[in-house]
Amino acid sequence: MLPKIIDLFSGCGGLALGFEKAGFDIVAGIELMPEACKTISYNLSWRYGKKETHICGDITEIEASVFKNSFGDEGCIVIGGPPCQAYSMAGRGKLRSLGEDRVNIKDARGYLYQDFLRFVFELEARAVVMENVPESTNFGGKNIPEIVCTELTKKGYKAYWTILNSADYGVPQVRERVFVVAIKGDEGKEIKLPNPTHRNEVDVLTQHQKRFEGYKQCQFFVEPNGTTDELKPWVTVGDAFSDLPEVFPTADSKYKLVSLNIEYPYKTEAQNEYQELMRTWYGKEGFGVSANAFRRNTRDFPIFERMQQGDNYIAATKIAEELFYEEAKLFGYEKDSEEYISLYNKMVPQYDKDKFENKWKRLDETKPSHTLVAHLAKDTYSHIHPIEPRGITVREAARLQSFPDDFFFDCSMGDAFKQIGNAVPPLLAYGVARTVLNTFEEE
């Protein structure tokens, strides 16, 4: 029998969803945030008429023995992604803004991998999959994946860490993440690296591929399997979006805030393999799709409309100034008059161009998206729709992460964006889960 899955730091369930699709049984888990716990409970338990499996609570206050009866002789695999905020560049910046003493190495979240390992060892997990951001390789000079692999090795596991790009596994997003993979030595097996299913048609190294030579100096780093010309090209934003409902065609369109449980009909039939998968993940295709809510950026809709695909904040401010000059001329305001200055402040974003250059970005439909982050909960300037003059909807964010269309978000728009931005893309998780499955199905 296959080992059961214990899912720690589950978020809204991206990692678990990939393991479920591969054929594993998710029997228990822990998540701190109530909204995320509700999302994972609905999508992994309630939709099947089962009682929820995940505990909503603080892992540091929970004993591993709580899951002893969740599995039998088949044992368990512990999976999860400890919080990344202490490691990530965005998280470090947020901490610095709160005061000089708020440095990342003082952030308790940076040490939660220790609780992850506590559960691994006390539950005698047969295998381990831990996910995090690449910046975890330098946490105040400490390489967390190396530390985790060292601790696992001391306990008799065969362990390694690598960096995988979600775009190589069919996700329409360039998102590089660390994966620690381990299996008990007495299993007499190895968990191989997953094989990519897609490739970059442009021969350009990603941000972290450029660092592989440095990573090779680490004891436990293993370079991921390369791509070949026979693989399918990366899935693009256009591939992900083209069948989704049109919700705001022009800057003059009437804004309507819709509940996340309201379904809109698809704009077209499924137009490619990715759309077909998103529609039929659970086996049956629906007639429409929910979570079509997007941010009300009234000032910025006209700016978005004039932005070209790929434009950033520098281009956006130039457009805003053009719109302002047109408006000021129309009203006949004299330069530097009170009305002129007031209109300028109303129409032109006032962010620091040096700091915000890439905080705004209009998606390019011919490429995968850049990485989604939890800051989507605050605003969606980082991911402006490539065609319509607005930020992306919750469903579009879910598509960019490879959450299927029947994955339901029963929460606020902000909470949904946060959960999606924090998640492991299910298709990437599926790629990892399949190689784990193959290991345990070997005779």
CA dist list (Å): 316 to 23, 305, 354, 365: 46, 10, 13, 18
Residue 379: what residue type?
D
- Please give the structure tokens belonging to residue 399: 């598509």
What token pair was written down for 176? 């590089």
The angle, 0 to 180 degrees and rounded to 10, between the axes of the packed helices 113-122 and 144-154 is 20
What is d(CA 102, CA 105) in angstroms, rounded to the nearest whole number?
9
Buried b (16+ CB within 10 A) or exposed e, 385-408: bbbbbbbbbbbbbbbbbbbbbbbb
Instruction: Round to whole Å and give the CA distance between 434 and 331.
Output: 63
Given 12, 37, 76, 84, the catalytic residue: 84
**Burial tier of 72 (Cβ tally within 10 Å: 0-12, 13-18, 19+):** exposed
d(CA 5, CA 7): 6
Q: E strands within 281-439? A: 288-289
Is 84 considered catalytic here?
yes
> What are the C-alpha distances in Å from 408 to residues 12, 47, 234, 375?
10, 10, 26, 20
Instruction: Name the packing angle between helices 34-44 and 14-22 (round to 10°).
Output: 20
Active site residues per annotation: 84
